[in-house]
Chain A
Amino acid sequence: MEFFVYHDYMMFTKSIVYVLMGLFVVGFWGLWAFMTSRDEEIHKMPEHHKE
């Protein structure tokens, strides 16, 4: 893909960037939820089952 105009090139790269940003948000949230999911289970467990 050849770009003759910097503006067109920027439009292309920045559009990808915004999609990436959306993925970052979802990804971080997913990673966080995964990491802390066991904590929630522990939190809900009755006291004497915790180590």
Chain B
Amino acid sequence: MTTENNKTLFTPVNIITGIFLAIGLVITVLRFTKGLGYVTNLDDNNPWGIWISFDLLCGVALAAGGYTTSSACYLFGLKKYHSAVRPAILTAFLGYALVVFALHYDVGRPYRLPYPIFVSPGTTSLLYEVGLCVFLYVTVLAIEFSPAAFEWLGMKKLRNTVTKLTLALTVFGVVLSTLHQSSLGALYVAVPSKIHPLWYSPYLAILFFVSSIPAGLSMVIFEGTLAHKPWHHMMDKTHLDEHEGVILGFARGASISLAAYFCVKLVAVAYDNNWAYLATGWGAWYLLEVLGFVALPSMLYAIGSREKNIKLIKWTSALTVFGIILNRFNVSIVAFNWQLPSSQRYFPSWMEIGISIFVVTVGVTVYRFIVSRMPIFFEHPEYKDAH
């Protein structure tokens, strides 16, 4: 997106970006002048819609690549993943920043978002826990990302000071991630009467946390695949050399963590003896989610990793990402209020969808700006081996 070398600003991608941004800005004005009722299909029975299900729940789950990659490299000592850390941290940072951004649309009084932390903490609420952790984690991610920016800006001393904090930040990041990934699931523990028994469980916290691991690993593979062609010219030799190793290694981790998640899902059904529900229509939908989007990708990752089939792994990562999104939607929208008559059920309005697309577009645009300029896919020549 540069104007150097006579490159035009009006590439097809930029035009589409511009359209989505423009639509988003219009809806933004409507949201804050006419209210949530005008822009969304939310109502008193369905107070949470896709801005929670997608922007918050999926956004956080899919940004899990940050803590999984940085802990693999810095805590578990797997140095061969080092080139994947910066892209993963960037994705996570943008992901969480967008979650906070999107929340400004959903809550009734966004100007009071600091209240739970700085004015009146509702410490009995798991949403308080989510808010506190997300606030702290966005800060951690910003600091973890900052060396790339400092290198780009030539601020050597600042960059070196911050880099010393990597280990502490990584540990703190894993603590925070564990807490908020699980707490997002725990939000729904308070609502057994409204969620279908196959998706409700007192174990929801564990289900959400465990599934965030393959979610993060798969996003790193998936996003790495998407970025490989357009940003190939920004990738240095280390990054390109390590690329396949990252994919193979993460495929293994994803296979095992998906298998673990599958086991936890079964335990959750067994906990309240809910097996009979599997024979219903809802049961068929549940089996589709668990067999098609948890068990199947676990197997495919295993096969792909064993046969070193990169193509299979890449497709499986897309399958897994979709499966995580499906699960979050199932818990929060599809299986939520399952007992209400269909006339009272929720479906998003086009303006809600428009804002969700707008938020993603903003994220992708910032991502493109950063990776085309800052040392994300390559090591800055002045700081080689300085890790």
Chain A complexes with chain B: yes
Q: Does B124 contact A (CB under 8 A)?
A: yes
Q: Does B153 contact A (CB under 8 A)?
A: no
CA distance A7 to B122 in the complex (A): 11
Of A7, A29, A32, the residue contacting B124 (CB under 8 A) is A7
Of A7, A15, A25, A32, the residue contacting B121 (CB under 8 A) is A15
The B80-129 residues at the A interface (CB cut-off 8 A) are 121-124
B172 touches A18 (CB 8 A): no
Q: For B124, what are the chain A residues with a Cβ–Cβ distance below 8 Å?
A: 7, 10-11, 14
The A13-44 residues at the B interface (CB cut-off 8 A) are 14-15, 17-18, 25, 29, 32
Which single residue of chain B is at the shortest CB-CB distance from A19?
B123
Which single residue of chain A is at the shortest CB-CB distance from B123?
A14
B123 touches A17 (CB 8 A): yes
Interface size of A in residues (CB-CB distance below 8 Å)? 10
Q: Does B13 contact A (CB under 8 A)?
A: no
B121 touches A18 (CB 8 A): yes
CA distance A29 to B165 in the complex (A): 11
Q: For A7, what are the chain B residues with a Cβ–Cβ distance below 8 Å?
A: 124
Q: For B172, what are the chain A residues with a Cβ–Cβ distance below 8 Å?
A: 25
B168 touches A15 (CB 8 A): no
Q: For A15, what are the chain B residues with a Cβ–Cβ distance below 8 Å?
A: 121, 123
B123 touches A18 (CB 8 A): yes
A11 touches B168 (CB 8 A): no
Interface size of B in residues (CB-CB distance below 8 Å)? 8
CA distance A29 to B121 in the complex (A): 25
Which single residue of chain A is at the shortest CB-CB distance from B176?
A25
The CB with the most chain A CB atoms within 10 A, among B122, B123, B175, is that of B123
B168 touches A29 (CB 8 A): yes
For residue A13, give the distance in angstroms from its CB to the closest CB of chain B: 9
Which single residue of chain B is at the shortest CB-CB distance from A24?
B175
For residue A21, give the distance in angstroms from its CB to the closest CB of chain B: 9
For residue A49, give the distance in angstroms from its CB to the closest CB of chain B: 22
CA distance A25 to B175 in the complex (A): 10
A interface footprint on B123-160 (CB within 8 Å = 1, 0 otherwise):
11000000010000000000000000000000000000
CA distance A18 to B122 in the complex (A): 11
Q: For A17, what are the chain B residues with a Cβ–Cβ distance below 8 Å?
A: 123
Which single residue of chain A is at the shortest CB-CB distance from B122?
A11
CA distance A12 to B300 in the complex (A): 49
The CB with the most chain A CB atoms within 10 A, among B122, B124, B132, is that of B124
The B172-190 residues at the A interface (CB cut-off 8 A) are 172, 175
For residue A33, give the distance in angstroms from its CB to the closest CB of chain B: 9
Chain B contact residues, CB within 8 Å of chain A: 121-124, 132, 168, 172, 175
Interface pairs (18), CB distance under 8 Å: A7-B124, A10-B123, A10-B124, A11-B122, A11-B123, A11-B124, A14-B123, A14-B124, A15-B121, A15-B123, A17-B123, A18-B121, A18-B123, A18-B132, A25-B172, A25-B175, A29-B168, A32-B168
List the 5 closest A-B pairs by CB distance, nearest first.
Answer: A14-B123, A10-B124, A15-B123, A11-B124, A14-B124
Extra 13 A-B pairs, beta carbons < 8 Å, given A7-B124, A11-B123, A25-B175: A10-B123, A10-B124, A11-B122, A11-B124, A15-B121, A15-B123, A17-B123, A18-B121, A18-B123, A18-B132, A25-B172, A29-B168, A32-B168
